Amino acid sequence: MYNKAIFQLQKYGNEQEYCTKVVVVVVVVVVVVVVVVVAAAAVLVVVVVVVVVVIVVVVVVV
């Protein structure tokens, strides 16, 4: 009986550990995706600004 209780506790501990690992992995993936999206958005903004500046310069000069 006592051994069974310990086994159940160990099993529960392992499941908890597994859940924790899954949560950590999910959080890491979400953070990476957010960073990539933000970086892509920043690059896009920079490209748009550069294009606008180039167009303005060309229009003003020409």
DSSP per-residue letters across 14-30: HHHHHHHHHHHHHHHHH
pLDDT at 6: 66
Q: Does residue 2 lie within any of the structural domains?
A: no
Q: Does residue 7 lie within any of the structural domains?
A: no
| Residue 31 reports pLDDT greater than 70 | yes
Cα–Cα distance for residue pair 34/43, rounded to 1 Å: 14
Q: Does residue 9 lie within any of the structural domains?
A: no
pLDDT at 57: 95
Q: Does residue 22 lie within any of the structural domains?
A: no
The amino acid that residue 37 corresponds to is: V
Predicted TM-score (pTM) above 0.75:
no
Q: What is the DSSP letter of 62?
A: -
| Residue 3 reports pLDDT greater than 80 | no
Phi, psi of 17 (to 5 degrees): -60, -45
61's tokens: 């000069």
Query: Can you give the residue range of the structural domain that contains 52?
Result: 30-62
Question: Looking at residues 3-19, what average pLDDT do you find?
Answer: 73
Count of domains forming the chain: 1
pLDDT at 15: 76
pLDDT at 36: 96
